[in-house]
Amino acid sequence: MPRQAKELTAMAVSRLTKPGRHAVGGVDGLALVISDTGQRSWSLRLMVGGKRREMGLGSERDVKLAQAREAAREQRRMLKLDGVDPIAARKEREQALAAARAREVQTLETAARDYHARVIEPTRTEKHGAQWLASLENHVPAHLWHRPIDEITAPDLLAALNAIKPHEDARNLPKGHRIAETISRVRQRLDAIFEDAMFNGRATSNPAAAVRRKLREMWPSGKKPAGKFAALPYPEAPQLVASLRAMAGTGARCLEFAVLTAARTSEALMAEWSEFDLKARVWTVPGERMKAGEPHTVYLSDAAMAVLEGQKGRHERWVFPSDMPGYSDSTMSNMTMLNALNRLGARDKTTVHGLCRATFSTWANETGAARPDVIEACLAHNEQNRVRAAYNRAEFAAERRALLAAWAEYLSAPSGARVAPKRRTAPKLVAVA
Residue 303 predicted with pLDDT over 90: yes
Element (H, E) at 132: helix 126-139
Residue 170 contacts residue 184 (beta carbons within 8 Å):
no
pLDDT of residue 176: 36
pLDDT of residue 229: 57
In words, the CATH class of domain 10-102 is alpha beta
Residue 413 predicted with pLDDT over 60: yes
Q: Which amino acid is at 425?
A: T
Determine the average pLDDT of the residues in 339-365.
Answer: 87
Cα–Cα distance measured from residue 401 to residue 61, given in angstroms and rounded to the nearest whole number: 43
Residue 123 contacts residue 115 (beta carbons within 8 Å):
no
- Percentage of the chain with pLDDT > 90? 27
Instruction: Compute the chain's Rg from CA coordinates.
Output: 28
Residue 138 predicted with pLDDT over 50: yes
Instruction: Count Cβ atoms within 10 A of the Cβ of residue 180 and give its class: 0-12 exposed, 13-18 middle, 19 or more buried.
Output: buried
Of the pLDDT bands very low, low, confident and very high (cuts 50, 70, 90), residue 177 is: very low
pLDDT of residue 103: 54
Residue 379 predicted with pLDDT over 60: yes
Residue 420 predicted with pLDDT over 50: no
pLDDT of residue 100: 58
Cα–Cα distance measured from residue 107 to residue 62, given in angstroms and rounded to the nearest whole number: 30
pLDDT of residue 425: 44
- Percentage of the chain with pLDDT > 70? 81
Q: What are the structural domain ranges in the chain?
A: 10-102, 108-218, 234-412
Of the pLDDT bands very low, low, confident and very high (cuts 50, 70, 90), residue 337 is: confident
Cα–Cα distance measured from residue 84 to residue 359, given in angstroms and rounded to the nearest whole number: 69
Cα–Cα distance measured from residue 229 to residue 222, given in angstroms and rounded to the nearest whole number: 20
Render pLDDT for 88-136 as a digit per residue (tens, 0 to 9): 888 887 776 666 565 566 889 999 999 999 998 888 887 778 888 888 9
How far, in Å, are 143, 148, 157, 295 from residue 152 at the CA level?
10, 7, 7, 48
Render pLDDT for 214-251 as a digit per residue (tens, 0 to 9): 777 765 544 444 445 578 888 999 999 999 999 998 88
Determine the average pLDDT of the residues in 140-145.
Answer: 85
pLDDT of residue 281: 95
pLDDT of residue 382: 63
pLDDT of residue 222: 43
The architecture of the domain spanning 108-218 is Orthogonal Bundle (1.10)
Looking at mean pLDDT, say which of 44-48, 98-102, 174-178 comes out highest.
44-48
pLDDT of residue 404: 95
pLDDT of residue 140: 87
Residue 60 predicted with pLDDT over 50: yes
The lowest-confidence range among 45-49, 81-85, 268-272 is: 81-85
Determine the average pLDDT of the residues in 143-156.
Answer: 87
- Rounded to the nearest 10 degrees, the angle between the axes of helix 181-199 and helix 108-115 is 90
DSSP-derived letter for residue 166 is: P
Of the pLDDT bands very low, low, confident and very high (cuts 50, 70, 90), residue 386 is: very low
pLDDT of residue 273: 94
pLDDT of residue 167: 43
Determine the average pLDDT of the residues in 205-213.
Answer: 87
Provide the CATH number for the domain formed by 234-412 in this structure. 1.10.443.10
pLDDT of residue 168: 40
Which residue(s) pair with 34 in the sheet?
Answer: 20, 40
Of the pLDDT bands very low, low, confident and very high (cuts 50, 70, 90), residue 401 is: very high
DSSP-derived letter for residue 329 is: T
pLDDT of residue 416: 45
Of the pLDDT bands very low, low, confident and very high (cuts 50, 70, 90), residue 172 is: very low
Cα–Cα distance measured from residue 351 to residue 338, given in angstroms and rounded to the nearest whole number: 7
Residue 238 contacts residue 410 (beta carbons within 8 Å):
yes
pLDDT of residue 226: 44
Residue 150 predicted with pLDDT over 70: yes
Residue 323 predicted with pLDDT over 50: yes
Determine the average pLDDT of the residues in 52-58.
Answer: 88
Handedness of CA 115, 117, 123, 125 (dihedral sign): positive
Chain-centre distance of CA 226, in angstroms?
A: 26
Q: Edge-to-edge, what's the strand order for the sheet holding 276-277?
A: 276-277, 282-285, 296-299
Determine the average pLDDT of the residues in 262-291.
Answer: 90
The lowest-confidence range among 110-114, 381-385, 410-414 is: 381-385
Q: Which amino acid is at 92?
A: E
Of the pLDDT bands very low, low, confident and very high (cuts 50, 70, 90), residue 255 is: very high
